[in-house]
Amino acid sequence: MTAITAPAVPLRQRLLRPNALWLAAPGIAFLAVFFLYPVLRLLALSVQDPASGALSVATYARIANTDVYLQVLGITFKIAGNTALFSVLLGYPLAYWLAELKAGLRERMVLLVMVPFWTSYLVKTFAWMVVLGRTGVINSMLTGSGLASEPLPLAYNEFGVMVGMVHAMVPLAVLTMLPVMIGIDRRLIQAAQVLGAAPAQSFWLVYFKLSLPGVTAGGLLVFISSLGFFIVPALLGGRRETMLAQLIITQVQELLNWAFAGALAAMMLVAALVTCWVYDRLFGLSSLSGDTSAQGGGTGRLRLLGLVILRAVAKASAVLSDAARRVIGVRGARRLLPIYCTLALVYLVLPTLLVIPIGFTSSQFLEFPPPGYSLQWFETYFSSPVWLSATLRSFGVAAATAICATLIGGLAALALARSDTRWGGLIFATFLAPLIVPRIIIAVGLFYLFAQIGLVATDLGLVIGHTVLALPFTFVTITAILKNYDWRLDQAAAVLGANRLRTLLLITVPLVKGGLVAAFLFAFITSFDELTIAIFISGGIKTTLPKQMWDDMILQLNPTLAAVSVVVFVIVTVLLLVAERFRRTT
Amino acid sequence: MTTAAKNGVTAPKLIIEGLSKQYGAVTALEPIYLTVPTGEFLTLLGPSGSGKTTLLQMICGLAEPSSGRILIDGRDQTQTPVHQRDIGLVFQHYALFPHLTVAENIEFPLRMRALSATEIKQRVKNVLTMVQLDHLAARFPRELSGGQQQRVALARSFVYQPSIILMDEPLGALDKKLREHMQIEIKQLHRETGATIIYVTHDQEEALALSDRICLMNLARIEQLGSPHEIYARPATAFAADFIGISNIFRGQVDTSNGEARISTPHGKFRLPTGASLSGTEAAIVIRPEQISLGGDKENTVVGRVIDAVYAGSETRLIVDLDEGETVIVRLPPGHPAPAYGERAALGWNPDAAVLVP
Ligand SMILES: Nc1ncnc2c1ncn2[C@@H]1O[C@H](COP(=O)(O)OP(=O)(O)OP(=O)(O)O)[C@@H](O)[C@H]1O
Ligand SMILES: [Mg+2]
């Protein structure tokens, strides 16, 4: 009897066979050159002697021996940690409330979180400077009404930084927690209550426990983003709130001390990676993408400890909520959450809205309420060649970035959707990495690379840098759309005689058009109000709009900034709403 | 004979008085009245949207009634919050807590009742043995098969011995074979524990197999309440006849003018069962397939053409197209010669074997 074996396909042939995975190649190559290499190069610089290029830990020794640097390190961790803590604490009830709303209403209310999420950090921070400053909105109301005899120190201290940071980060926390909460099966809560759990107990023992992956993911993302922050501490903090990123900027821009900047960046990156690693050990990184199938994780003893703690909390809060209900009545207790959420949304939305009337002020100062209204600041803006060229450059760079990022990210998303490779997780992580690595590190790394190949102060350099930052957004948006795409339509087209390219262009692309437009717009917004890379790459007369705003805000606050903020806010908000519309209708 | 009667216990466990539910303009349940004796296995049977889940949810307190009262063991529980009602509920998709192991899921209700640790341990062990899951106590729900998950859900609702156990299509997500197996297990649990069970299904075979009584629901009302046999033999309405078992139904006008009650249908005038009476004139007669025999010798006869004969082992099923355009199903006992496809056949039945329904 002869054994029949299928002829083995030679390895070379297998690798070169047309495979959807190749579509991810441009993106991977791009990220390797403009993301991985610059970041690693920067880290390498930190352990090199600048003169000889030999291995040296002198820089680290200097950091370890200098109190100021250690202090900055401590402050950075403290501010980032507190920001994560408060963002999650303040955001949790809001996310809970949103998750409980009917889907239609929820989509509209979520926009009240999305808009502040996408609003430029510069505009948000400018708004807080106007609100919290010595002659700001709050202080002029307090002194005007006689509640305080002199202005309270609300800004240029830790309080100001925390208000600004938490305001900037609550939306991220809420948007990370929300999908997890929406995914929780409401019948489980009902089941717990039928089995004898009081509402407070069923919340802690079931709902809260099941929402934990969202909570920790939100905390992690906020912490990592906050580590690299400099806009808020630079503009709302005092000398004692200097953060690591500010130090890096000074080292690069004023002292050109690359080794030192590299060492600081390495410390920031290590902090971020260690946090991620700890998180992964405790909760599993997969829960970052809202995947709750790996529930119940954690190792045996830790899990049991968690359960014991939860039971104690549940019992205590059942007693507390009973007492509360007795004091304020059932109806009063039911109103607490909506009241809180209204206040939270006001905190998120109102400061930015206050900037709008100020943009139309007739005064020479940033007064609120404005003594009168005029268009003079918009006139100043539109007649200033500096502002206009910055605005035009931002539009051009953003458009180019959006095209590149949508194309590269879209192909990569397609590659992942169409091939069941075991490298899927790694590719996914690669495209999300620019979101995890603090922007300041990417920016400084690119600056070093671009200085060598002559891309500093060029539009091309800006487009490349912004594309790195925008790729995660386009990739994730298009991946999500493709997840719901019915691939049998492609098979049908193939059976009917269309080749792969025609299938892609005639069937797939038209059907996921909305998602592509949304991805394009998200990338556009990302670039349009990007500052970190612009600080380094757009030098001299080639500045972008955010860079111009930043320069002005550091020098002197003026009503022109309010007018510019209004323009930026309106543009970004409109684009965002359009993007959301497209994303939903696909 | 019902389990309740067997045990000699007749005190009502649950009394429902005028309970109704309104969702805005939608009436999910018209006011209904229902008494369930202790230890009974009652099935709520009805088509989708007939209000079964709504009724269950009001009994356990997950939905607030628009009117009416719920008495459990004689005590008015209409306003009692869910977690204090002491009722068991088995969900269609089990609703097992994914973050707790099998044993932790089962001890959840016991912990809520602050039982002692030893008591909890003992009870969990017993109930796990009862559903044959001892070896899986440390697993998480996602590591179990559908049937095993269902057993855990059952164990979790039996372990604290609630006064009533409600089950909302508990076997709906299982395949047919497993479903039949689980039916036997549920029946056994019921016998062993003597629990009062209200069971929702829209599978009539399941209802017939399990129940002491069936509460047939339709259009937010109770259509008929009775033992499986009662409902099969004496359907109260054409809907009841159609929903349970196979029925041949002839609609027409009742005519009592000539001293003898008859119904005139498109297929002829038929004599009614003796003693049958009706208020209106619009009515229907229901004849079960096994009550019809071949041959036109009977008083009530219809004629048609055989379009199919299905041999099913214990019987042969004939499908006959009547000349006036309706289909009649006939069950012939085994060994009875069946006419061939296309042959004409006369079908007759004894007037007293039919049931008159409004
Ligand atoms: N929350 C709700 N809001 C509005 N209408 C509802 C709600 N819940 C149920 N209904 C309506 O009440 C009616 C009865 O629903 P119910 O869920 O009790 O039916 P059911 O008999 O359990 O059906 P099924 O066999 O499909 O589970 C239906 O018409 C349904 O649309
Ligand atoms: Mg139902």
Sequence spans of domains, chain A: 60-356, 389-586
User: What value does the mean pLDDT of chain A take?
Assistant: 86
What the block records as the tokens of B16 is 């429902």
Return the pLDDT at A293.
46
Least confident of A180-189, A254-263, A368-377, A384-393: A254-263
Helix axes A244-253, A67-100, angle to 10 degrees: 130
Q: Does any CB of chain A come closer than 8 Å to the CB of residue B267?
A: no
Q: Does any CB of chain B come closer than 8 Å to the CB of residue A372?
A: no
Q: Give the pLDDT band (50/70/90) at residue A302.
A: confident
Return the pLDDT at A194.
93
Residues 6 or more apart in contact with residue B29 via CB below 8 angstroms: B19, B20, B21, B51, B54, B55, B58, B220
Return the pLDDT at A99.
94
Given a cut of 90, whether residue A189 has pLDDT beyond it is: yes
Given a cut of 50, whether residue A158 has pLDDT beyond it is: yes
Given a cut of 90, whether residue A145 has pLDDT beyond it is: no
What's the per-residue H, E or C state across A435-461? HHCCHHHHHHHHHHHHHHHCCCCCHHH
Residues 6 or more apart in contact with residue A495 via CB below 8 angstroms: none
Q: Are residues B271 and B200 in the same domain?
A: no
Given a cut of 90, whether residue A85 has pLDDT beyond it is: yes
Per the CB < 8 Å rule, is B156 touching A198? no
Written out in words, the top-level CATH class of the domain with range A389-586 is mainly alpha
A391 CA → ligand 1 middle, Å: 56
End-to-end CA distance of chain B: 29
pLDDT digits (tens, 9 = 90+) for B282-304: 888 888 888 888 876 667 888 88
- 3-state SS class at B138: coil
Return the pLDDT at B353.
83
B260 CA → ligand 2 middle, Å: 45
User: What value does the mean pLDDT of chain B take?
Assistant: 87
Per the CB < 8 Å rule, is A202 touching B86? no
Q: Are residues B39 and B60 in the same domain?
A: yes
Q: Are residues B165 and B289 in the same domain?
A: no
Residues 6 or more apart in contact with residue B85 via CB below 8 angstroms: A194, B60, B61, B72, B77
Report d(CA A564, CA A575) in Å as an integer: 17
Return the pLDDT at B56.
93
Report d(CA A392, CA A409) in Å as an integer: 25
What the block records as the tokens of A385 is 């060649």
Q: Are residues B83 and B129 in the same domain?
A: yes
Least confident of A46-60, B4-18, B248-262: B4-18
- Choose one of B22, B23, B221 to mutate for the ligand 1 pocket test, by most ligand atoms within 8 angstroms of C-beta: B23
pLDDT digits (tens, 9 = 90+) for A424-455: 788 888 998 998 888 999 999 999 999 899 88
- List, as ranges, residues 91-120 from B with C-beta within 8 Å of A: 91, 93, 95, 97-101, 104, 108-109, 111-113
Of B233, B267, B286, the one marking the end of a domain is: B233
Nearest Cα to A533, choosing from A459, A452, A444?
A: A444
Nearest Cα to A525, choosing from A585, A586, A573, A581?
A: A573
CA A116 to the chain's CA centroid: 11
Q: Are residues B108 and B256 in the same domain?
A: no
- Type and span of the H or E element at A407: helix A385-418
Q: Does any CB of chain B come closer than 8 Å to the CB of residue A330?
A: no
Q: Give the pLDDT band (50/70/90) at residue B131.
A: confident
Return the pLDDT at B200.
94
How much is the average pLDDT of A513-528?
90
B221 CA → ligand 1 middle, Å: 13
Helix axes A385-418, A376-383, angle to 10 degrees: 80
Q: Are residues B218 and B323 in the same domain?
A: no
Report d(CA A546, CA A439) in Å as an integer: 15
Q: Give the pLDDT band (50/70/90) at residue A6.
A: low
How much is the average pLDDT of A496-510?
82
How many domains does the structure of chain B reveal? 2
| Location of structure tokens 């201290």 | A157
Q: Are residues B71 and B183 in the same domain?
A: yes
Q: Is residue B240 part of a domain?
A: no
Beta-strand relationship, B41-45 and B26-37: unpaired
Q: Does any CB of chain A come closer than 8 Å to the CB of residue B177?
A: no
Of B180, B206, B233, the one marking the end of a domain is: B233
| Location of structure tokens 């809520």 | B112
Q: How many CB atoms lie within 10 A of CB B320?
A: 26
Return the pLDDT at A541.
72
Given a cut of 80, whether residue A14 has pLDDT beyond it is: no
Cβ B40 vs Cβ B9: under 8 Å: no
Least confident of A158-162, A538-542, B264-268: A538-542
Say yes or no: CB of residue B50 within 6 Å of ligand 1: yes
Cβ B38 vs Cβ B161: under 8 Å: no
Return the pLDDT at A8.
58
Cβ B186 vs Cβ B154: under 8 Å: yes
How much is the average pLDDT of A345-361?
91
Q: If you write DSSP's letter for every residue of B55-91 in order, what string do you get?
A: HHHHHHTSS--SEEEEEETTEE-TTS-GGGS-EEEE-
A401 or A293: which carries more pLDDT confidence? A401
Q: Does any CB of chain B come closer than 8 Å to the CB of residue A195?
A: yes
Return the pLDDT at A291.
47
- CATH assignment of A60-356, among 3.20.20.140, 1.10.10.10, 1.10.3720.10, 1.20.58.220: 1.10.3720.10
Q: Give the pLDDT band (50/70/90) at residue B10.
A: low
φ, ψ of residue B18 in degrees (nearest 5):
60, 30
Domain interval for residue B269: 246-357
B163 CA → ligand 2 middle, Å: 22
Same topology, domains A60-356 and A389-586? Answer is: yes
B28 CA → ligand 2 middle, Å: 11
Nearest to B95 among A188, A199, A205 (CB): A188
Least confident of A122-136, A152-166, A184-198, B255-269: B255-269
Q: How many CB atoms lie within 10 A of CB B150?
A: 25
Q: Is residue B241 part of a domain?
A: no
Given a cut of 80, whether residue A357 has pLDDT beyond it is: yes
Q: B153: nearest CA in chain A?
A: A191
**Of all protein residues, whose CA lies closest to atom 17 belonging to ligand 1?**
B53
Q: If you write DSSP's letter for every residue of B169-234 in order, what string do you get?
A: STTTTS-HHHHHHHHHHHHHHHHHH--EEEEEES-HHHHHHH-SEEEEEETTEEEEEE-HHHHHHS
Side chain identity at residue A225, one-letter code:
S
Given a cut of 70, whether residue A484 has pLDDT beyond it is: yes
Q: Does any CB of chain B come closer than 8 Å to the CB of residue A190?
A: yes
Q: Are residues B214 and B273 in the same domain?
A: no
Per the CB < 8 Å rule, is B100 touching A193? no
Q: Are residues B128 and B38 in the same domain?
A: yes
Per the CB < 8 Å rule, is B112 touching A196? yes
Q: Which atom of ligand 1 is nearest to the CA of B47?
A: 25
Q: Which residues does chain B have within 8 Å of residue A185's beta carbon, measured at their own beta carbons? A: 93, 95
Q: Indicate the Cα dihedral angle A207, A210, A214, A219, nearest 10°.
A: 80
Q: Are residues B76 and B188 in the same domain?
A: yes
Q: Is residue B73 part of a domain?
A: yes
Nearest to B95 among A187, A205, A209 (CB): A187
Q: Is residue B198 part of a domain?
A: yes
Return the pLDDT at A273.
84
Q: Are residues B293 and B175 in the same domain?
A: no
Cβ B71 vs Cβ B81: under 8 Å: no
Q: Give the CATH number for residue B108.
A: 3.40.50.300
Nearest Cα to B270, choosing from B249, B288, B239, B289?
A: B249
What the block records as the tokens of B295 is 């041959």
Q: Is residue B24 part of a domain?
A: yes
Given a cut of 60, whether residue A46 has pLDDT beyond it is: yes
Helix axes A300-359, A158-182, angle to 10 degrees: 120
Q: Give the pLDDT band (50/70/90) at residue A580.
A: confident
Q: Can you name the residues that pair with B26 across neighbouring β-strands?
A: B23
Per the CB < 8 Å rule, is B62 touching A193? yes
Residue A255 burial by Cβ neighbours in a 10 Å radius (0-12, 13-18, 19+): exposed
Q: Are residues B14 and B114 in the same domain?
A: yes
- Choose one of B48, B54, B56, B57 to mutate for the ligand 1 pocket test, by most ligand atoms within 8 angstroms of C-beta: B54
Nearest to B83 among A198, A210, A293 (CB): A198
- 3-state SS class at B331: strand
A466 or A150: which carries more pLDDT confidence? A466
Q: Give the pLDDT band (50/70/90) at residue B1.
A: very low
The distance of A421 to chain B (nearest Cα, Å) reads 25
Give, in order, the Cα–Cα distances in Å from B207 to each of A276, B46, B58, B165, B198: 54, 10, 21, 16, 11
Report d(CA B180, CA B183) in Å as an integer: 5
- Type and span of the H or E element at B308: strand B300-311
Given a cut of 70, whether residue A505 has pLDDT beyond it is: yes
Of B192, B207, B233, the one marking the end of a domain is: B233
Q: Give the CATH number for residue B337.
A: 2.40.50.100
DSSP state of A466: H
Return the pLDDT at B6.
47
Cβ A179 vs Cβ A214: under 8 Å: yes
